[in-house]
Structures are given as structure tokens and as C-alpha cells.
């Protein structure tokens, strides 16, 4: 990453069958801006002090503690001490996780509202399972071994399931309408004043209401929604220039700047790691 501490490193891998992504990284001075993911995040702090803001509180994770986040939960991230931290994280496709958990439990729809009562838990068995699954995704051996490692994490997560917090948020009607508008039109040049006019309010009240409900200003949410769409397109093999246009970014460099800030890699690198396709189309 541009301007990163030379002690920092970042490793990424992806299981194409389940869509599970695996990250292991070390950070000292780097800090993530507030953002969210469309995936279910399950991770463990390996070394140092890892801290982030989520659910309107500062969370401080020490070695061996497990981090659990639902899709759409706004959070940031940074080192809690100058010695930095190392962590491993799995990013589960929520549909795959729901189906896998339901199969594990032998139910048809019992995992449809998969959520976590707490963001930070002490569960040594789950921590070991996350690290074992990371190793299988990052350095895959047999398909059966990789599936077994992921299934072990799913089984342990099933025991910790709870109400989906994001689905149960009772946001004001104005904030919900603004979010729906951005979800539908993220690829267009959507303006804050335009949204406010359509919703019958002023842009200052709209911004305050939205940020109070979702923890992000409307523009920050719009960028995150565009990044989520770009990430899906890139994982499917689309070229970065086409992705930038479809997702609502001004150009490929604009997409690249935001993508690096959010995910620690370039769009081309993410596409290549997900697909093994070359960075440019053949002549």
C-alpha cells in the first residue's frame, strides 16, 4: 500500500467454490477508514493490540480473541499500540454461510437471519478453526481438507448465532429511503441535494439522520456501495476500466484510489487473485 509502514504486510487468498476470502495482515501505522463489507467477517487477533469502532463503541482485541461482524456493519481499524498487530480474517459469502449452516444443523431455513450478539468473543476453539481455515484457503491442498476446515468454522459459528442486528435496525423512514435510493442508483451521479429534494427535506437534515442511523455519511455509504459492486464484478473477471464505469467511479484511477484505501490492494491485483486472469485483455 502507498505510504505504508515498511513493517506492514498483507496476504490475500480466495476459495473460488465457496467464495470465501481469506486475509492475513500486519499493521503498525495504517488505519482503515470507516467502511463495511457485504460479507460475514470472522477473524482472530494473532499478535499485538487490534482496535476498531463498531456498534458505536471502541473494541480492543488482544491475541486469541475472535472478531465477528455481520454484513453491513460499519467499522474502522488500527493498531492500539506502536508495536502493531497481526490478524487473520475470513470473509464469508452470506448466502453460502446461511446454506452451509442450515445443512450443518439439518434445517431448511433456520440460518436465514445469521447474526452475532457480540462483536468480540473468547472462543479458543473457534480461533484455532479460523486459523486452520485460513491456512487451507491460502495454501490449498486437497479440496476435501479445505471443505472440512471451512465446515468446522461454520459448525462453531452456528453455536454463536443470534438475531441479525443489521436487519433489526429501526432506522428513521428518511434514512431508510435515502439508503434504498443509493442502493438502487449507486452507478449514477447521485447528488445529495437531488436526494433531499426527492425526499422532501434539506441535505443537512438528511445527512444527520442517515449518519445517526447507519454510522456513515451518505457520500461515504455511496462509495462503499460502489466498492462492493466493483468487488463483485472484479471477482467475476470484469476489467477494472469497465468496472469503474459501471460502479459509478469517475475513471479507473478514481476506483483504484478508493479500492486501495478500503481493501489494501489494487483492483487489478484483486481481479488477478480471484480469477488468475491476466491484467489486460488479449490484443
The model's pLDDT over 41-76, given as tens digits with 9 standing for 90+, comes to 999 999 999 999 998 899 999 999 999 999 988 898
Instruction: For residues 266 and 274, give the distance between their C-alpha atoms in angstroms, rounded to a whole number.
Output: 12
Cβ partners under 8 Å of residue 17, min gap 6: 143
Q: Could you tell me where in the chain the CATH 1.10.10.60 domains are found? A: 170-275
Average pLDDT, rounded, for the chain: 89
* Confidence (pLDDT) at 129: 98
Whether 281 shows a pLDDT value over 80: the answer reads no
What is the pLDDT confidence band of residue 149, given thresholds at 50, 70 and 90?
very high
Task: Summarize the confidence of residues 99-104 as an average pLDDT.
Answer: 88
Task: Summarize the confidence of residues 9-18 as an average pLDDT.
Answer: 91
* Confidence (pLDDT) at 170: 66
Give me the phi and psi of 106, to 5 degrees please. Answer: 70, 35
Task: Summarize the confidence of residues 253-262 as an average pLDDT.
Answer: 91
What is the pLDDT confidence band of residue 274, given thresholds at 50, 70 and 90?
confident
Cβ partners under 8 Å of residue 93, min gap 6: 18, 19, 20, 39, 40
CATH topology assigned to domain 170-275: Arc Repressor Mutant, subunit A (1.10.10)
What is the pLDDT confidence band of residue 156, given thresholds at 50, 70 and 90?
very high
What is this structure's pTM?
0.85
Q: What sign does the CA torsion over 245, 250, 252, 254 have?
A: negative
The predicted-structure confidence for 108-143, as pLDDT tens digits, reads as follows 665 555 789 999 999 999 999 999 999 999 987 889
* Confidence (pLDDT) at 278: 59
How many alpha carbons fall within 13 Å on the CB side of residue 270?
26
> Which CATH superfamily hosts domain 9-167?
Jelly Rolls (2.60.120.10)
What is the pLDDT confidence band of residue 1, given thresholds at 50, 70 and 90?
very low
Amino acid at each position: 500500500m502507498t505510504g505504508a509502514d515498511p513493517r506492514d504486510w498483507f496476504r490475500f487468498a480466495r476459495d473460488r467454490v465457496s467464495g470465501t476470502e481469506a486475509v492475513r495482515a500486519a499493521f503498525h501505522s495504517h488505519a482503515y477508514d470507516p467502511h463495511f463489507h457485504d460479507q460475514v467477517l470472522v477473524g482472530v487477533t494473532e499478535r499485538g493490540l487490534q482496535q476498531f469502532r463498531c456498534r458505536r463503541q471502541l473494541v480492543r482485541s488482544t491475541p486469541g480473541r475472535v472478531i465477528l461482524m455481520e454484513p453491513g456493519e460499519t467499522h474502522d481499524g488500527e493498531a492500539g499500540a506502536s508495536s502493531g498487530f497481526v490478524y487473520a480474517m475470513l470473509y464469508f459469502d452470506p448466502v453460502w454461510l446461511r446454506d452451509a449452516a442450515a445443512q450443518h444443523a439439518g434445517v431448511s431455513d433456520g440460518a436465514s437471519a445469521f447474526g452475532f450478539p457480540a462483536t468480540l468473543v473468547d472462543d479458543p476453539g473457534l480461533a484455532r478453526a479460523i486459523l486452520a481455515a485460513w491456512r487451507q484457503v491460502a495454501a490449498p491442498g486437497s479440496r476435501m481438507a479445505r471443505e472440512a476446515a471451512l465446515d468446522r468454522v461454520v459448525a462453531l459459528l452456528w453455536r454463536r448465532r443470534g438475531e441479525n442486528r443489521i436487519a433489526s435496525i429501526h432506522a428513521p423512514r428518511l434514512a431508510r429511503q435515502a439508503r434504498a435510493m443509493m442502493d438502487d442508483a449507486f452507478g449514477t451521479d447521485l447528488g445529495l441535494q437531488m436526494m433531499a429534494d426527492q425526499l422532501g427535506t434539506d441535505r443537512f437534515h438528511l445527512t444527520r439522520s442517515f449518519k445517526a442511523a447507519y454510522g456513515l455519511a451518505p457520500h461515504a455509504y455511496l462509495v462503499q456501495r460502489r466498492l462492493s459492486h466493483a468487488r463483485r464484478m472484479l471477482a467475476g473477471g470484469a476489467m477494472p476500466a469497465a468496472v469503474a464505469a459501471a460502479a459509478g467511479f469517475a475513471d479507473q484511477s478514481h476506483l483504484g484510489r478508493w479500492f486501495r484505501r478500503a481493501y489494501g490492494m489494487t483492483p487489478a491485483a484483486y481481479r488477478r487473485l480471484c480469477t488468475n486472469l491476466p491484467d489486460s485483455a488479449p490484443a
